[in-house]
């Protein structure tokens, strides 16, 4: 079923009827020869075009320094689309029409004349909107952002206060490698563009199930009434990755799991799960509440880091019956590397709703299952009646939001075992996105690109969000400085992490609930 068919259903309440209409525009992709363009951007734009979500007049301009013609660039993209499109096979008729909107502009990012050439190409389209409504997607290294936006401004393609049309900049993570570099990067971008023109993309926020966190919380009174310290015992956020570092050893030596996953994806999910209701569905209202939540996380001193944060690194083990080398044996990794491939932490939120409720976050590579989920575990029943008899066998109620894969929501409660004898056991009610909505699940980049074209910043990260998240991460990294990994922090590939992570929860009488394969 298509998106249009869903919204024809009289039971569906449309919330985006006031969203800005997408206007004719040009989408300029810097780094058009790169992997991101082939794997994500062009497939996303193709599907938006196929679903008739793009404006009637648009152009996609690939900007890169390799010698290509329009025809050869289109041929490369078609080959990539055959591999990476979420629907197969690619519709030839749709592609041929879509490809007429794609052109290529040869240019070096550091060459001012290349931007003049780009300006001439945009003007040659004839339609004034294709010249003045411009979305610049910087699929390039963050070290090149400053030069790109400066040259765009000098070429008359970017203005902080445009008099004709609009200009927006989309940038990919990483947004710096610490608070100081993130602050410098943001200052560089906003020197030539206004903050409301900068769209910082985190593909996690484009996932349907991540967006559904707010919908689930604030449109269902039965759950929102329980979403607080009086009913919730603790919260677990798990983002587990089955694959190893592999060929990304060089990058991982610089980033580690803390910078790669916690600073962006995991803290964003935490903010959505724990934030207060926004005053409206406007982008700034939602982003205001996310920032307030992040600022409410209790600051960690080096002593707190030692007690509340665990890092880990995988050593050689077995994955799916095959030997898996340890992190230190991966290409481009130092043989004595101290970089974390696993992080677990206990965070406390100092606000009225969550005072005293621990939030446990963890992520790691070479774990048994690749999954992302949020588990809300409710307070146990009083130690009378069934709890007095069953003890620990009476499982606490829990609600699990499965973000990927097998997206859905599960509620765990206790029920009577059928039969003449009296027994109780945990049972589960499960809602599956696939079963309920079928195959229509757009990729994250489809939604994010469409929102950027429409000028809706709800799913993008604001400057103060980025810097607040880095403040949290930097305090943890400072606590690690000069301290090598201990034996308790190593874990075998194919296991759920180091012993130290289990001990972290045991301090409060809790245990990790590992994601399970969904049959």
CA dist., res. 401 & res. 490, Å (int): 29
Q: Give CA torsion, residues 360, 363, 367, 372, to 10 deg.
A: 80
Residue 170 has phi, psi (to 5 degrees) of -110, 125
Q: Which two tokens stand for residue 163?
A: 């008099």
Tokens representing 209? 């199930």
Q: Could you give phi then psi for residue 101, rounded to 5 degrees?
A: -90, 0
- Which run of H or E residues covers position 207? none
Among the listed residues 132, 234, 265, 430, the single catalytic one is 265
Per DSSP, 275 falls in state: P
- Residue 16 makes CB contacts below 8 A (sequence gap 6+) with none
Half-sphere exposure of 469 (CA within 13 A, CB side): 27
Cβ contact 463:198 at 8 Å: yes
Q: Is 105 exposed, middle or buried (0-12, 13-18, 19+ CB in 10 A)?
A: buried
Per the annotation, the verdict on 265 as an active-site residue is yes
Structure tokens at 67: 């010698």
Residues 6+ apart with CB under 8 A from 272: 210, 213, 214, 290
56 burial level (CB within 10 Å; 0-12, 13-18, 19+):
exposed
Torsion angle of alpha carbons 101, 107, 110, 111, nearest 10°? -120
Q: Maximum Cα–Cα distance for the chain, whole Å?
A: 85
**Cα distances (Å, whole numbers) of residue 506 to 328, 499, 511:** 29, 11, 6
Which of 134, 107, 98 is CA-nearest to residue 30? 107
Q: Could you tell me the two tokens for 480?
A: 């690690």
> CA of 264: how far to CAs of 3, 173, 195, 343, 467, in Å?
29, 8, 19, 14, 11
DSSP per residue over 376-404, as a string? Answer: EEEPPPPSSHHHHHHGGGSPPPEEEEEEE
**φ and ψ at residue 345, rounded to 5 degrees:** -150, 155
Asked whether the beta carbons of 233 and 357 are under 8 A apart, the reply is yes
SS3 content of the chain, % helix, strand, coil (to 5): 40, 20, 35
DSSP string, 153-166: HHTTS--SS-SSS-
Catalytically active residues are: 265
């Amino acid at each position: 079923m298509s998106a249009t068919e869903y919204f024809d259903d009289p039971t569906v309440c449309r919330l985006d009827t006031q969203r800005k209409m997408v206007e004719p525009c040009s989408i300029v992709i810097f780094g058009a020869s790169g992997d991101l363009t082939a794997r994500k951007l062009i497939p996303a734009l193709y599907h938006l075009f196929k679903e008739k979500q793009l404006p009637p007049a648009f152009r996609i301009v690939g900007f890169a320094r390799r010698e290509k013609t329009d025809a050869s660039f289109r041929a490369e993209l078609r080959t990539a689309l055959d591999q990476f499109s979420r629907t197969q096979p690619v519709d030839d008729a749709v592609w041929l029409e879509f490809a007429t909107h794609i052109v290529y502009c040869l240019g070096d990012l550091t060459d001012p004349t290349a931007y003049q050439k780009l300006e001439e190409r945009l003007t040659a389209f004839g339609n004034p909107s294709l010249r003045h409504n411009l979305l610049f997607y910087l699929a390039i290294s963050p070290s090149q952002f400053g030069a790109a936006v400066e040259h765009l401004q000098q070429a008359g393609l970017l203005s902080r206060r445009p008099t004709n049309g609009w200009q927006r900049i989309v940038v990919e993570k990483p947004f710096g490698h610490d608070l100081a570099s993130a602050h410098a990067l943001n200052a560089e971008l906003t020197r030539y563009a206004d903050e409301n023109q900068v769209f910082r993309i985190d593909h996690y926020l484009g996932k349907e199930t991540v967006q559904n966190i707010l919908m689930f919380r604030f449109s269902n009174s039965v759950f929102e009434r329980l979403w607080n310290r009086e009913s919730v015992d603790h919260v677990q956020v798990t983002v587990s990755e089955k694959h190893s570092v592999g060929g990304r050893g060089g990058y991982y030596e610089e980033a580690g799991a803390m910078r790669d996953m916690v600073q962006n994806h995991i803290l964003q999910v935490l903010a959505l799960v724990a934030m207060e209701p926004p005053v409206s569905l406007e982008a700034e209202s939602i982003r205001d509440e996310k920032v307030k939540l992040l600022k409410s996380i209790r600051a960690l001193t080096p002593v707190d880091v030692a007690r509340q944060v665990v890092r880990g690194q995988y050593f050689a083990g077995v994955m799916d019956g095959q030997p898996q080398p340890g992190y230190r044996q991966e290409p481009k990794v130092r043989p004595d590397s101290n970089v974390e491939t696993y992080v677990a932490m206990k965070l406390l939120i100092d606000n009225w709703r969550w005072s005293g409720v621990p939030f446990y976050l963890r992520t790691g590579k070479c774990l048994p299952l690749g999954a992302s989920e949020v588990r809300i575990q409710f307070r146990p029943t009083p130690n009378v009646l069934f709890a007095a008899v069953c003890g620990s066998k009476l499982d606490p109620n829990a609600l699990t939001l499965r973000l990927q894969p097998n997206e859905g929501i599960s509620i765990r409660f206790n029920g009577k075992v059928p039969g003449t004898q009296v027994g109780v056991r945990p049972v589960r009610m499960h809602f599956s996105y696939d079963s309920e909505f079928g195959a229509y699940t757009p990729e994250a980049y489809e939604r994010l690109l469409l929102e950027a074209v429409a000028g809706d910043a709800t799913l993008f990260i604001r400057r103060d969000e980025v810097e607040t998240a880095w403040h949290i991460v930097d305090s943890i990294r400072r606590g690690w400085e000069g301290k090598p990994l201990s034996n308790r922090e190593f874990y075998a590939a194919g296991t759920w992490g180091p012993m130290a992570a289990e001990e972290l929860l045991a301090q409060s009488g809790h245990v990790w609930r590992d994601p399970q394969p969904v049959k």
